[in-house]
């Protein structure tokens, strides 16, 4: 695979060396670069040599002196610099298996790649990890590593993951931790499958690996309406979600006394579904699993409230805006909007989008399609729409390939995107 450069960062070593988009990295220190992890390892030294094939086919050999671990400022066409390793499991709860046709092609990729765990925080199962890959993680100190555990009971894990391979997940986790690698884990919780006593055993087993195992997230299984022919799974409801919150909270308190950390953290969805209050800001400690939906609502709320406390009087750019959100975050956004309107003279409409595409059991904003946004907002005269950033990918399209421009045309108004960041949101106003 060719390592083609698509961007050279400003004021970087690469810019000083007159590298440019279209150039190709051939080798570092005379060695072929296997992937991005290998590349970062190879360029970490203070003195390196890189071979570049220019767009005109000239070969440049460049000697570089730099600080240890300093990046040289190259962005590659393929950020992995290699093919993604796909998953060989057949999990009974796999979200990809619940997708209809016609979505973005990348959504159908079942990755199980340790490099994506390091680079982007993806969770891996370890079932596809070869001995060489395990040793490579240890050699390169790929940390933190994110692992989907689900359960520490071998037979139950086999059933959940549709994989007959015998493996002791705790052995792998210990191997990483003994090598000085930090580990974060997740448990995708299935009602009447790996919950209750199974969940308690898993948490207690994993807690023996603290502090090397830094945190464990408990997240609810995502169930779409496209499950024909798949294993029947009972969705969580208000009562069962409340049982999870109470059980895990009790274990958190026990572990905090014993380990000095709550160790196990509950996805925001469980609090919302159970209609129970979020715990205090400090209960999330370092927010190590924020990208897993752990503490996102509380962090966002705290950011907004702190900014409003010191907010000076201002004149907003527009008189009216519309916050679009999913069902899960709707109540929070209504609450925050009322606080914002007390400080800023702007009318805020908060509109929740029902997920008709995947089914109303899917309540998070990140799985809302452009189709549902258009159908539920068109003709309602909402103006200056602000979408949460997780509704749009890096290429600025929705799950079903609608662009921001498409939405603006359909809804006859400006559409902006804002990540779950308090300062960024207030700046838009």
Closest CA to 157 of 113, 98, 201, 117: 201
For residue 386, give the DSSP letter. E
Domain at 38, CATH number: 2.30.42.10
CA separation for the pair 114, 183 (Å, rounded): 12
CA distance readout (Å), 242 to 198, 235, 271, 274: 17, 13, 7, 5
Beta-bridge partner residues of 265: 217
Domain contains 368: yes
Residues 23 and 69 in one domain: yes
Please provide the size of the chain in residues.
Answer: 429
CA separation for the pair 7, 19 (Å, rounded): 9
Question: For residue 334, is the peptide bond before it cis, meaning its omega torsion is within 30 degrees of 0?
Answer: no
CA separation for the pair 231, 227 (Å, rounded): 8
Residues 305 and 382 in one domain: yes
What is the pLDDT tens value at each position of the chain, 429 positions in all?
A: 688 999 999 999 999 999 999 999 999 999 888 888 788 888 888 999 999 999 899 999 999 998 988 889 998 887 776 677 778 889 999 998 998 887 777 777 777 665 655 555 688 899 888 888 888 889 888 888 999 999 999 999 999 999 988 889 999 999 999 999 999 999 999 999 999 999 999 999 999 999 999 999 999 999 999 999 999 999 999 999 999 999 999 999 999 999 999 999 999 999 999 999 999 999 999 999 998 889 999 999 999 999 998 877 777 778 999 999 999 999 999 999 999 999 889 999 999 999 999 999 999 999 999 999 999 999 999 999 999 999 998 778 999 999 999 999 999 999 999 988 888 888 888
CA separation for the pair 348, 308 (Å, rounded): 16
Helix orientation angle between 404-411 and 370-377, rounded to the nearest 10 degrees: 20
Residues 255 and 215 in one domain: yes
Phi-psi map region of 428: left, alpha, beta (phi>0 left; psi -120 to 50 alpha): alpha
For residue 222, give the DSSP letter. P
Q: Tokens 């002791």 map to which residue?
A: 168
CA separation for the pair 318, 346 (Å, rounded): 7
Q: Phi and psi (nearest 5°) for 36? A: -65, -35
Among 293, 315, 347, the domain boundary falls at: 293
Is residue 7 helix, strand or coil? strand
* Whole-structure pTM value: 0.85
Residues 61 and 201 in one domain: no
Instruction: Report residue 60 as tokens.
Output: 């440049």
User: Domain tally for the chain?
Assistant: 3
Q: Are 99 and 224 in contact (CB under 8 A)?
A: yes
**Residue-number span of the structural domain to which 404 is assigned:** 301-428
Residues 243 and 207 in one domain: yes
N-terminal to C-terminal alpha carbon distance within the chain: 45
Instruction: Report residue 21 as tokens.
Output: 């988009």
């Amino acid at each position: 695979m060719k390592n083609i450069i698509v961007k050279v960062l400003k004021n970087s070593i690469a810019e000083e060396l007159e590298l440019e988009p279209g150039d190709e990295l051939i080798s570092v220190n005379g060695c072929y670069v296997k992937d991005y992890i290998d590349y970062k390892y190879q360029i970490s030294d203070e003195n390196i040599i890189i071979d570049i094939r220019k767009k005109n086919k000239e070969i440049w050999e460049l000697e570089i002196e730099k600080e240890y671990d300093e990046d040289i400022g190259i962005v590659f066409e393929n950020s992995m610099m290699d093919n993604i390793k796909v998953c060989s499991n057949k999990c009974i709860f796999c979200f990809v298996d619940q997708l209809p046709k016609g979505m973005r092609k990348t959504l159908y990729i079942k990755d199980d790649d340790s490099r994506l765990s390091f680079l982007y925080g993806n969770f891996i199962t370890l079932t596809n990890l070869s001995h060489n890959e395990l040793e490579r993680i240890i050699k390169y100190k790929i940390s933190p590593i994110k692992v989907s555990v689900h359960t520490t009971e071998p037979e139950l894990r086999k059933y959940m993951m549709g994989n007959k391979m015998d493996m002791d997940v705790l052995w792998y986790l210990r191997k990483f931790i003994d090598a000085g690698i930090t580990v974060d884990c997740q448990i995708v919780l299935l009602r009447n499958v790996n919950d209750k006593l199974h969940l308690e055993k898993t948490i207690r087993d994993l807690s023996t690996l603290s502090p090397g195992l830094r945190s464990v997230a408990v997240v609810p299984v995502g169930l779409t309406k496209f499950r024909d022919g798949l294993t029947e799974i009972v969705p969580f409801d208000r009562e069962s979600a409340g049982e999870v919150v109470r059980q895990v909270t009790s274990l958190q308190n026990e572990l905090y006394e014993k380990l000095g950390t709550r160790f196990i953290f509950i996805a925001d969805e469980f609090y919302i579904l159970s209609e129970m209050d979020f715990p205090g800001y400090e209960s999330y400690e370092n927010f190590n699993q924020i990208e897993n939906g752990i503490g996102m609502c509380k962090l966002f709320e705290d950011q907004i409230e702190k900014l409003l406390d010191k907010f000076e009087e201002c004149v907003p750019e527009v008189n009216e805006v519309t916050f679009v959100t999913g069902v899960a975050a709707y109540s929070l956004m209504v609450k925050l909007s009322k606080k914002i309107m007390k400080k800023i003279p702007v009318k805020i409409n908060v509109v929740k989008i029902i997920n008709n595409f995947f089914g109303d059991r899917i309540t998070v904003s990140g799985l809302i399609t452009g189709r549902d946004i258009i159908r539920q907002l068109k003709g309602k005269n909402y103006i200056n729409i602000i979408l949460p950033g997780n509704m749009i990918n890096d290429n600025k399209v929705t799950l079903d390939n609608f662009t921001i421009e498409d939405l603006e045309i359909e809804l006859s108004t400006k559409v902006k995107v804002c990540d779950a960041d308090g300062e960024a949101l207030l700046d838009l106003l």
